[in-house]
Structure 1
Amino acid sequence: MRFEQQLKLLISSRHLFIYILTNEEERLEHVISRLVCQEFDSNIYSWDFIDGYTNNPNYLGYAQRNPLAALEFIETLDFSSTKVFILKDFHLFMNDISIIRKIKNLSTKLKNINFNIIIVSSEINIPILLKDRISLIEFPKPNIGEINSELKRLFSVLNIKYKLDLDNLAFACRGMSMDFIRKLIAKLVFTQQSPSYIFHLITEEKKQFIKQTDILHFCSVSNTLQDIGGLFCLKQWLQKRSNAFSKQAQSYGLPIPKGLLLVGIQGTGKSLSAKVIAQHWKLPLLRLDVGKIFGGVVGESEKNIRKVIKLSEDLSPCVLWIDEIDKAFNRFTNNSDSGTSNRVLSTLLTWLSEKTKQVFVVATANDVLSLPSEMLRKGRFDEIFFLNLPNLQEREMIFQIHLMKVRPLTWKQYNINHLSKLTNSFSGSEIQQSIIEAMNNAFYEKRDFNNNDIINAISDIIPLAFTDHAKIESMQEWAKLGKVRLAS
């Protein structure tokens, strides 16, 4: 149900206290005014802590810095006509016992009166004693249609002559407030840059917006499928779904892809794969710092995971990368935190199963055996891929990729086949490290590095697979049983 339909239903059914969650006060007031004028012919009274009541000349400045007086004022008015009251930031005062008591009294006194008291807040803060008296709804960010209309209006008013595809521009602005969009267009006009510059501005503004959360990080990616050595099955799976988020896919009836769980020991390419997915599908990549979800204050962890979900949905379509998820949700160590991990996990799993927004989740885990069994259930992710150690052919590809980056003209001089045979049980990152070590040694001696330098570096590296051999064998057994799918 659309927001305006929800609000109309609540007002019509005489819900006295309506709590609206939003950061866009100005846009919300405009929507409320339009709805009230068209459907209810009501008077609107607006209050904030500093200025008191502002939009009625008879009560200008009344109840300044006095939230209790703002409520008392409501019951002094004529009950015969319909009225709507907008109280801004009122959630900051709702834990006061006098405010709680007054809201309860008003709920009884005005239950048959055509009054509606709308509390506008940027966060949920409803005392337990009032939960059954207040209806909570969320004011969504502007949709594509609203953004497109506003862009057309701004381009017309500002007489902007740039030839831009407004549909693509509106799509890029999705998840941002209308105020952000207006400032963005103002920057474009002021800087007088090329039309393509606006997309760079959008990316930079989103980076700053996400950075403020201190939980999500906006990742810039440049890696392509060609940067992955091997993992043919995973790459084929990704290529088949390259257009899964397109309008054509939706018209075809394809369900929105949920996500992938990538498992394997460190250095096998899980993080690189997450970056490549975002780049190949041309979607923004958001990285979740799982450790920062968990806070010391009671209820903070649950609030943080809800914030992550909301942000990622606001910025959809996007890729949400949850790195090393096994460290946050470990079935062997989650029994000593008073159930916080289980509650956060429950919220995450429910969202993974039921989400309808275009958020593709890529979770990576080094030790899948420690993950809770409910996370591995079919339906949470589209597929679970096991990234095994590279075979000989894949090791040759990995050597070639890294040598071409550092020696694009002379990489064929290196005996890649011989080097690949020497690196059995090496991960991709360990192969890369052997090249870096060889380069450092040769650079110290003021010469170019050669095959022998890489061979010497290989002999000094003890592969991580030697210590994680049991995990690899277990995952190989899982692959045989069909519990996970081999990425190679």
Structure 2
Amino acid sequence: MNSFQAELGLLLRARYPVLYLATTEEERAEAAIAAVAKSQGDRAVYCWDFVEGYQGTANSEGFGKRNPLQALEYLDQLPATAPALVILRDFHRFLEDAAVSRKLRNLARRLKSQPKNLLILSSRLAIPDDLAEVITVVEFPLPTATEIRVELQRLLQATGQRFSEANLDAVVRSCQGLSLERIRRVIARAIAKHGELNSEDFDLILEEKRQTIRQTQILDFIPAHEQMSDIGGLDLLKEWLLRRGGAFSEAARRYGLPHPRGLLLAGIQGTGKSLTAKAIAHYWHLPLLRLDVGRLFAGLVGESEARTRQMIQIAEALSPCVLWIDEIDKAFAGLDGRGDSGTANRVFGTVLTWMAEKQSAVFVVATANNVTSLPPELLRKGRFDEIFFVGLPNQEERRAIFEVHLNRLRPSSLRNYDLERLAAATPGFSGAEIEQALIEAMHLGFSQSRDFNTDDVIDAIGQLVPLARTAQQQIQQLQEWAALGRVRPASNAMLPRPEGL
């Protein structure tokens, strides 16, 4: 029995009157519910939907059709001592109705003393405030690796195919994060295309996974091609990451190491925090999911919490993976002053609890430009493995950044550029501003039908006003905050006040 079945069984035995299960996998959920009912003395299960009414029982076939209030009144007809579980499909659509709400609360009182339970099965979570104390939400996870393996073996056996154990393991890993219905569809598509399932079909599975993640509207599947060598400077941060290169392996588990929890990269914008998130995923060969925190707060009341749970469920189903929360300070700054009925606080609490208690191999990389605005609970030990401060690069690091970019743009003529001169001419420049100066120099050279040179880059530098000058006070405050020793420097030369300030 899996964790969902164990939890549901406990809630049924404890006589929780009204349960709510939000999932798009209706068929799989009903099969799991039926298994729980059978394990509890073959408890009777009744299913209702708006179009067909009650189904599967001769005496009540079609009862309550197109009548949600009558669907609830059906429980009055059941023997008081007979154990039963009533499943109401898509019933969330009727919870705002005054009569339905009142009847549910009346039933909740009575069912506490009877071996009966109501279970609302819906594709999304939508509970009115007046029913929040009556309804208990049950989480229904995506298929586990074991469930996926059993389903794949069934599909392969049905098509008469044989697959090596190693290839089967690879397909199982590729399918994690998909519903069983989507797995059936993508495998059927692969077999229809090639006549069999082979290694070429991994791209089909990956595209199906991207489609699923896109449909959540809160997570993006980001291709990560950046390497550690693409990051100029940040030697201490890179050393920390390289040391943990094998931390997600089975050898690390046997050694007794827990899964790494994550990183908070705080500091000045344009200094390589986002680039580092991508490089981590590429170096560790893990899928990279980017969370758009702003979308968590879009939509109707109550949807933010549901979206947060959905995000966590998908991230854990895709583990091991990297979850990149970009600019987390914009989402959770100033929580106390928000006028959103406590939504931001509840979402923040859910994320915090998950980060502190998660056992899954989800490595969270959060980035923040204004770390001083973050709630202190987020910075507490146990949320992240480490908090690094990424400040403006010094001259040596700027030389390395120029070298990285020019090696990508002009690998054959890198020696023609005076890296020392360029580094000395850019005090207070961030990595993003250095890249912008190179692009401006390329425009200058291209407009004159020649390649750009060091002088062009120097001219472009003179035209740019770096953030270190336009936001001098804010950057100085950040540097001083980091210098107090509250965070770990990402570079040996990070904390001293950079040139140009």
Task: Return the offset for 1:311.
Answer: 3.4
1:223 aligns with 2:223: no
CA deviation map 1:55-101 (0-9, x unaligned): 23443333221122222233334556443322211222223222233
Identity %: 49
CA deviation map 1:162-191 (0-9, x unaligned): 545222322222222111111121121112
1:120 aligns with 2:138: no
1:403 equivalent in structure 2: 406
Contact 2:178/2:212 (8 A) holds in 1: no
What letter corresponds to residue 223 of structure 2 in structure 1? S
CA deviation map 1:412-448 (0-9, x unaligned): 2222222222222221112212221111111111112
Contact 1:17/1:116 (8 A) holds in 2: yes
Task: Return the offset for 1:219.
Answer: 1.2
Task: Return the offset for 1:130.
Answer: 4.2
CA deviation map 1:84-138 (0-9, x unaligned): 3222112222232222333344445555544333221233334455445444322
1:170 equivalent in structure 2: 172
What letter corresponds to residue 202 of structure 1 in structure 2? I
Unmatched runs of 5 consecutive residues or more in structure 2 = 492-501
Q: Which moved more, 1:84-93 or 1:10-19?
A: 10-19
What is the TM-score normalised by the length of structure 2? 0.89
Identify the match of residue 277 of structure 1 among 275, 280, 286: 280
2:97 equivalent in structure 1: 96
Identify the match of residue 379 of structure 2 among 376, 381, 394: 376
1:40 is paired with a residue whose SS is: coil
Q: 1:131 to 1:4 in 2, by over 3 A?
A: same
State how 1:380-459 maps to structure 2 within 5 Å.
Answer: 380-459=383-462
Q: 1:74 to 1:369 in 2, by over 3 A?
A: closer
1:53 is paired with a residue whose SS is: strand
Contact 1:19/1:137 (8 A) holds in 2: yes
CA–CA distance in structure 2, aligned partners of residues 104 and 333 of structure 1: 33
Task: Return the offset for 1:235.
Answer: 0.8
1:5 equivalent in structure 2: 6
Task: Return the offset for 1:37.
Answer: 3.1
What letter corresponds to residue 178 of structure 2 in structure 1? M
CA deviation map 1:379-433 (0-9, x unaligned): 2222111112222322222122111212222222222222222222221112212
Q: 1:6 to 1:304 in 2, by over 3 A?
A: closer
1:76 aligns with 2:77: yes
Q: 1:134 to 1:480 in 2, by over 3 A?
A: closer
Contact 1:293/1:305 (8 A) holds in 2: yes
Identify the match of residue 210 of structure 1 among 201, 210, 213: 213
Q: Which moved more, 1:375-384 or 1:440-449?
A: 375-384
Contact 1:331/1:370 (8 A) holds in 2: yes
Contact 1:386/1:475 (8 A) holds in 2: no
1:212 is paired with a residue whose SS is: helix
1:482 is paired with a residue whose SS is: helix
CA–CA distance in structure 1, aligned partners of residues 111 and 345 of structure 2: 41
State how 1:138-153 maps to structure 2 within 5 Å.
Answer: 138-153=139-154
1:409 is paired with a residue whose SS is: helix
Task: Return the offset for 1:378.
Answer: 2.5
Q: 1:343 to 1:19 in 2, by over 3 A?
A: closer
1:45 aligns with 2:46: yes
CA deviation map 1:258-281 (0-9, x unaligned): 221112222111111111111112
Q: 1:343 to 1:450 in 2, by over 3 A?
A: same
1:199 aligns with 2:202: yes
Q: 1:55 to 1:456 in 2, by over 3 A?
A: same
Q: 1:118 to 1:368 in 2, by over 3 A?
A: closer
CA–CA distance in structure 2, aligned partners of residues 302 and 42 of structure 1: 32
Please tell me the root mean square deviation across aligned C-alpha atoms, in Å: 2.7
Q: 1:337 to 1:452 in 2, by over 3 A?
A: same
Identify the match of residue 357 of structure 1 among 341, 357, 360: 360
Task: Return the offset for 1:237.
Answer: 0.9
Identify the match of residue 186 of structure 2 among 168, 171, 184: 184
CA–CA distance in structure 1, aligned partners of residues 28 and 10 of structure 2: 20
CA–CA distance in structure 1, aligned partners of residues 465 and 132 of structure 2: 59
Task: Return the offset for 1:238.
Answer: 0.9
Contact 2:175/2:209 (8 A) holds in 1: no
Q: 1:444 to 1:133 in 2, by over 3 A?
A: closer
CA deviation map 1:4-53 (0-9, x unaligned): 12222233344443332322111122222233334422333222111122
CA–CA distance in structure 1, aligned partners of residues 101 and 345 of structure 2: 32
Contact 1:318/1:358 (8 A) holds in 2: yes
Q: 1:156 to 1:401 in 2, by over 3 A?
A: same
Contact 2:22/2:122 (8 A) holds in 1: yes
1:67 equivalent in structure 2: 68
1:321 aligns with 2:350: no
2:20 is paired with a residue whose SS is: strand
